[in-house]
Amino acid sequence: MMESGLENQIFQPSDVLAHATPDVLANHLPPDLLSKVLQASLAAGSMTPERVLETVTPELLARHLPHEVLWACIAAAAARAGVTNTVVS
Cβ(61)–Cβ(16) under 8 Å? Answer: yes
Q: Does residue 48 touch another protein according to CB under 8 A?
A: yes
Residue from 47, 60, 69, 79 binding another protein (CB under 8 A):
47
Q: Does residue 84 touch another protein according to CB under 8 A?
A: no
Question: What is the size of the binding site for another protein (CB under 8 A)?
Answer: 24
Alpha helices in the chain (DSSP H): 2-7, 13-19, 22-28, 31-44, 49-55, 58-64, 67-81
* Interface with another protein (CB under 8 A): 17, 21-23, 25-27, 31-32, 34-39, 41-42, 44-49, 52
